[in-house]
Chain A
Amino acid sequence: MKKFITIILTLVSLATIFVACGKPDNSDNSSGTDNSDEVKEILLYDFEDYDKSFQLMRVCGYFGAVNVNKDAKYVKSGKRSALLQPLGPESLGNAQGVTEGNPETCLYIPLSSQKYGFDYTDGNKLAEVRFSIYNAENKNLNLYVSLIMEKKAQRLSPCETFALKPGWNEVFYTPDHSVIAINDDLSQCYGIALNFDNVHSRYLKDAPKLYLDDLSITLVDKPFQTENLVVLKDREVCDFESDWQKYVLMSKVDDRSNAPDMEIIKASDYGLVAPSGSRVLRVTMKPTNLIVGTVYNGFGFTQALIDAVGFGKYGDDDYFAFDVYNASDMPMDFPTVFWNTKENGYKGLNILVNPGDWATARISLGMLDELFGKGERTYRDNPSNIVIQWAEFTGEERVAFFDNFRIEKGATK
């Protein structure tokens, strides 16, 4: 009896100790968010089970190759890891209007699986992504991590950049929910995208070698509260002075390889005087090998910005206006196309810009609506993307600067 009581007490005590101590200490991996008292770390991919790890992942858009690695030197835990040989994407950007079925280049790591019964696609609760990655090259490599916001990986969230030193790196990716929420619905976050720099080769022998292991995610119970970053000055559309404005830019191209490079820069660094403030958008347009004759590439603004502008509050006499500087050595035509939410697009204006000079483009909103016709299809009632285009060209890259997209009062032109 005495022995029995002692055993019971010991068990009760141990149970009490266990309850008091709670789960094993994983706190060095916690998200640190104040959003929830409850954090949950889930080891999502350990790369030990081929079917569960490798079969779920997708290699999108000429990413390169992913293979099983059994060399213990490149395994963080267990016996296996993933060998990545990335060739790199043609461009890293927010491209829209790309031919259907043409995803962004990336390693697509899903956040859900019907077969294995997990679904962590609510990005509102995703606090952190953590993984180990071994850089087998003798130089630093850039890793770009983003979330996949469209099921076929046609759209990625703005990426975060990590400089991977040679050897093992522990990557902690904490998505900026407010930035992602500018353009996307965080509740539909399909996966994690990994990207690397383009090696300018399509041969695996030219690709760097990296080893990926132990990818875990940290979830919180209470969704993150995002803040509205898209705050505009009076009559401003986009003057490129604010940090968030890079996130409302998108490219509109038929082929991602033609996507322009877009960078917000200090105008004086390029010998220019900014029409407004000190920063302007620098757009590097890509040449094609062949002129098809019907292809227009371009860049534009996402719906988030268009919604924030509130075109409906402006009158017939107001103008959509912006300034453009053609830094190429020949005149360029920048047709400006307005799309309504009914998916009708009309060219509002051809912006014909001579080289080496700022030009101002003005488009009457009243006239623009007439292009769409009266009634519920008008642009101001259903405003959507505005795209600045250019005709395809061969030869060298061309550069143009844009600034001070705005709504002008008609009386002052």
Chain B
Amino acid sequence: MKKKNLLSVVLILVCLLSFDLALVGCKKDDGKKDDPKNVLSRNDLAEWENETEEAELYETYRLSVFSAYDKNGKAYRVTPDVKQSDGEAVRVMNNEFVVDYAGGYKITYSLTDESYSAPEKVVTLKVKNSDEPYVYFEKTRVVYYDDEPCALPAYVCHIDPEVGVSAESLKLEKISGGKRVGIKNIASEMTLSAGNYELAASVTAKNGKTGECVLPFRVRSSNERNAVAAFNDANTTNLYASFWDNSIYAFNAIKATFASDVMRNATVSQGSYCIEVPQTATVATCKVIPEIGEKEFVEAMSKSGAVYSLWLSIEADDGLSRSISVGTKTVDLKNGKWTNVTLTAEEAGYDDIKSFYKALVLTKFGMTVYNSNVSPFKLYFDSAYVSEPIEADFADVSCNLGQSVDLRATNAQNAEFYYELYDGTAENPDSQISESGTLTPRVAGTLRAIAHPVSNRYYSGNLWATVTVKAGNNAFKFANEEYSFAFGKHDRPTALLNASSCENATYRIESTTSENCFTSLNDDKISVYAGEYILYAETALDGTVYSAYAKIIGGNAPSTSGDIENFDDPSSLKNVDVPQSFTYIGDYKGATGVVKFDGARTYEWPGFALKSSLTEVEKLKQNYTADDYVAIRFCVENAPSNFFFFMNVVGAGAYADENYVVDFIGSSAVTITDSEWHVYYIKAKIFFDNIDAFFNASAGENDKVTFRWTNNSLNDAEIYIDWIKMVKASEKV
């Protein structure tokens, strides 16, 4: 029995050991697919069918299957595997990848737990439009110069490899004046002459579909290496402008746009950049961001006589000039005329060239444009360069009027020049320009010509020549070089051709200053107002255009009937400090010669100050006493409620009789409630007592008399002014 028991024990142990081994074996093979513990069919799992999806090329595709669920809601973690259709593995980052293979993808989801046997879920990801070549250049912001090989960018084509490509082509053309010239033997690196080009890559798929990309670019002249900003193409943005906006009391940025058809000269420029300064801007700040590197800038500016050179021009509806502060310089920009601003580092306000460059880069160096006229205008920028003076010989020439001259400048470097002949006045924007140097003077006399280097890296300096033009038998000129006229209407001087009158001659008159030209022409009459003017005449004979000019000097308007300002003609507006805010409208509501104030409605206290004519008060004093009055006649249309009209004496010192000084809204202000003419009287004593303070040579800028009224921004009030004059106390109404 003992033996039997022992056997039983051994048998039990053997059985148990076998069972254990089986279990251990079972544990070891737990994950083997060929001996799965659990088998799940596709039907056992929810939403486990294979799918096909579509994605755009370069879309970021996000894996969306993280778990599988069986019918009982039990969740199983899944493992994704992503391969391109050509079998290449895809690195999935954070469950995402970028679709950049046109052949598509195979995304395989399997249960992570290998103890389960389950079919895989396969998502076939197709790329939309992958049967059509998608072609692009690897680089599109290219900068090339004509003195070094241009590394043309390669192109990339995406297309489903299953579709395949049947043809590829690359085309390079130079575009000049609307003409296209094909360039053969295109290499990845090739030297190209300066100009505009177009590179086009085209791919045709075997299914006939095509894809193309085009890259327009410009090869710059090596001379442009000196460009701070050439402003020659829209490819670069170097200009930034902002303005102080009166209406919102803040700085606003101004858009700068490339103007391909506005340039100072087609020989040296291919366009310019323009900013439009709005009416609400009194001050605009402009900054030119340099393209040139620091090393190149410092090297170029270190040359003898080298300057930072920038060309500016304005286009203003009011025809008036604007002032611009650049570094330590203030420059007057005349309407329609290109002005060259040049600066050394010192003139820019910096100790050395490097500091100047740094300020340009960090946009700490700006130009301030003043729009004191409060009228919109366009400001053009062109050819910002580091320029150095060019040395050349430029010989004087002579000819007879009607003949041409050949202007020729030469220098050792064989630099190219173009030529400008001033055959009007030196200020005349109608100078003649020629690339060849062959020009026909339009007037007789001793004229001046200048040779301009074609390259902006040089400036002409004093490269002037004298052009002597003999009158011969074809003289076209005025009898006098200068005419002085009293204020008023006169016969217009006539230019004679060959000492005879010329019926087809045309005339125009311009102010010699930036102010409005009030003197005007009417047939053979000239209405002369105070100031200096140039009278131009032009005519043509045998295909040659001749021009002549003469200076017109106009006398001051006479003071009559105690007038301080009668506003009887447009030139009256020269006597106010904000002429742009007025319109001369002539007769109005029975009054002769009236001006209308219609500007600056947003000012808190709109108004104006008189300028020169108040100096006449000294003369008026001879006929008036302190008990007489200064009076202003005005009317207001559409007056707002509580509309006050008053006179304000601005200035330092206790010079005013406080009974008559209306400082802002005071007791003497008149409230206007109708649209009738009103006369507002002020004792003359205030003027007579303070003439010295107001009107002598040392009177301060702010020592003046202003006429002001309530802010009329709430409606469209219109203020009309007839006159300001002295009135005898006995005549006061």
Contacts and interface: CB of A to CB of B under 8 A. Distances in A.
Interface of A: 2, 5-6, 9, 12-13, 16-17, 20-22, 25, 27-32, 128, 130, 158, 160-163, 168-172, 176, 178-179, 229, 243-244, 247, 264-266, 268-269, 273-279, 317, 319, 323, 330-333, 347, 349-350, 352-355, 357-360, 362-364, 366-367, 370, 404, 410, 412-413
Contacts of B293: 317, 319, 362, 364, 410, 413
Contact of A413 (B136, B292, B362): B292
Ranked 8 nearest A-B pairs via Cβ = A170-B75, A352-B240, A359-B237, A331-B253, A266-B58, A13-B16, A32-B112, A275-B141
Contacts of A358: 141, 237
What is the size category of the interface that chain B forms with chain A? 35 or more
B31 interface: yes
Given A170-B67, A243-B91, A276-B138, A13 B113 contact: no
Given A32-B77, A171-B67, A367-B358, A323 B141 contact: yes
B619 to A, nearest CB: 54
Interface string B219-251: 000000000000000101101111000000000
Contacts of A273: 136, 140
A331 B113 contact: no
29 contacts: A12-B16, A17-B19, A17-B20, A20-B27, A27-B115, A28-B115, A28-B116, A32-B79, A130-B77, A163-B64, A229-B93, A264-B60, A268-B136, A275-B139, A275-B141, A277-B156, A331-B242, A331-B255, A331-B256, A354-B237, A354-B240, A354-B255, A357-B234, A357-B237, A362-B293, A364-B294, A367-B361, A370-B358, A413-B291
Given A266-B58, A367-B294, A355 B9 contact: no
Nearest to A349: B361
A25 B255 CA distance: 70
B139 A276 contact: yes
B236 A360 contact: yes
Nearest to B294: A364
Contacts of B357: 367
Interface in B231-281: 234, 236-237, 239-242, 252-257
A52 to B, nearest CB: 24
Contacts of B76: 28
Contacts of A21: 23, 27
B19 A330 contact: no
Contacts of A269: 56
Interface in B117-138: 136, 138
Contact of B96 (A243, A317, A333, A404): A243
Interface in B280-298: 287, 289, 291-295
A interface: dominant SS: mixed
A362 B143 CA distance: 13
Interface in B352-368: 357-358, 361-363
A332 B253 contact: yes
Given A20-B20, A266-B58, A278-B136, 6 more contacts: A28-B116, A179-B93, A279-B98, A333-B253, A352-B363, A354-B240
B73 interface: yes
B536 to A, nearest CB: 39
A191 B721 CA distance: 79
A366 B294 contact: yes
B97 interface: yes
Given A27-B30, A243-B91, A323-B141, A331 B358 contact: no
Q: Which of A229, A264, A350, A404 has the most CB of B within 10 A?
A: A350
A412 B293 CA distance: 9
A172 B115 CA distance: 18
B59 interface: yes
Contacts of B66: 162, 171-172
A354 B254 CA distance: 8
Contacts of B237: 352-354, 357-359
B501 to A, nearest CB: 55
A319 B295 CA distance: 12
B591 interface: no
A350 B241 CA distance: 13
Interface string B602-615: 00000000000000
A274 B357 CA distance: 30
Nearest to B287: A352
A16 B20 contact: yes
Interface string B545-564: 00000000000000000000
Given A30-B113, A367-B358, A172 B139 contact: no
Contact of A176 (B75, B94, B138): B94
Nearest to B58: A266
Contacts of A176: 93-95
Contact of B20 (A13, A274, A413): A13
B75 to A, nearest CB: 3
B289 to A, nearest CB: 6
B13 interface: yes
Contact of A331 (B75, B139, B240): B240
Q: Which of A2, A277, A355 has the most CB of B within 10 A?
A: A277
B465 interface: no
Contacts of B537: none
Contacts of A362: 291, 293
B588 interface: no
Contact of A27 (B31, B67, B254): B31
Interface string B82-112: 0000000001011111100000000000001
B77 A29 contact: yes
Given A32-B112, A171-B67, A243 B77 contact: no
A171 B76 CA distance: 10
A279 B16 CA distance: 67
B23 A179 contact: no
Interface string B67-81: 101000101111100
A97 to B, nearest CB: 22
B75 A278 contact: no
B113 A27 contact: yes
A172 B261 CA distance: 64
A9 B13 contact: yes
A175 to B, nearest CB: 9
A28 B136 contact: no
Nearest to A276: B139
B5 interface: yes
Contacts of B143: 412-413
A404 B64 CA distance: 31
Contacts of B141: 275-276, 323, 358, 360, 404
B190 interface: no
B242 to A, nearest CB: 8
A323 B24 CA distance: 65
B23 A349 contact: no
Contacts of A31: 112
A158 B94 contact: yes
B310 interface: no
B57 interface: yes
